[in-house]
Amino acid sequence: MLQAGQWTEFGRRMSEVADATLREGVRLVYHHHMGTVVQDEADIDALMANTSDAVHLLLDTGHATWGGADPAKLAARYRERISHVHAKDVRLDRDKLHDVGILANPSEYHTPKLPGLGDVNWSQFFSALTDVGYTGPVCIEAEDRAFEPALEDRKRGLRQSKRFLENFLS
């Protein structure tokens, strides 16, 4: 976690990298994630406030919700700078909303779920994305912990999640 005074330097450096990659035709899209520098809503706000418009956001619905943020409000707030969406769910009644030890034993702290199996308000989220005119990719993020071990269960879960999300995207 960065302290308040460190965000300016972090943002300056991130913006320099983003400007350089953009000159080469590659957009830097930052993926906020629990257990990293940018975890919760305050961190996302600090990242966006301290970086140039060259830095865009990968909005991860599961990590945003897990970090206490509302993905729909983030979509509205950063509409011009969202370039990618990871669709993942979480169960807030079981997931611990902190990061102590997450990198050492993530399954103890977070059980990612396929879209539609947790507490993300998908209707509100996709309504916000539509309202802001988002046209970028929406990817189902399917971590191994979201599945039963059998391959067929994984395929079935992905098909179910795809059908679930298509209800909001059509």
1-5, 8-12, 58-62, 141-145, range with the lowest pLDDT: 141-145
Q: Higher model confidence: residue 47 or residue 119? A: 47
In this predicted structure, what is the pLDDT of residue 110? Answer: 54
* d(C-alpha 166, C-alpha 125), whole Å: 13
CB 137 within 8 A of CB 85: yes
| 38: helix, strand or coil | coil
Give DSSP secondary structure letters for 76-120. Answer: HHTGGGEEEEEE-B--TTTS-SS-TTTTT-HHHH---B-TTSSS-
CB 89 within 8 A of CB 113: yes
Say which CATH topology domain 4-169 has.
Answer: TIM Barrel (3.20.20)
CB 115 within 8 A of CB 146: no
CA-based nearest residue to 169, from 135, 132, 118, 120: 135
Give residue 149's pLDDT band: very low, low, confident or very high (50, 70, 90).
Answer: low
Give residue 144's pLDDT band: very low, low, confident or very high (50, 70, 90).
Answer: low
Chain segment 19-69, per-residue pLDDT in tens: 999 999 999 999 998 888 998 999 999 999 999 999 999 999 998 998 889
Write 3-10 long-range contacts (CB < 8 A, 24+): 7/46, 7/47, 7/49, 7/50, 8/50, 10/37, 10/47, 10/50
CB 145 within 8 A of CB 114: no
**Mean pLDDT of all residues in 104-128:** 77
In this predicted structure, what is the pLDDT of residue 153? Answer: 75
Chain segment 105-114, per-residue pLDDT in tens: 555 555 667 8
| 140: helix, strand or coil | strand
Neighbours of 84 (CB within 10 A): 18
* d(C-alpha 63, C-alpha 86), whole Å: 9
Chain segment 83-101, per-residue pLDDT in tens: 999 999 887 765 555 444 4
Q: Side chain identity at 114, as an amino acid letter?
A: L
Average pLDDT, the chain: 86
| 52: helix, strand or coil | coil
| 135: helix, strand or coil | coil
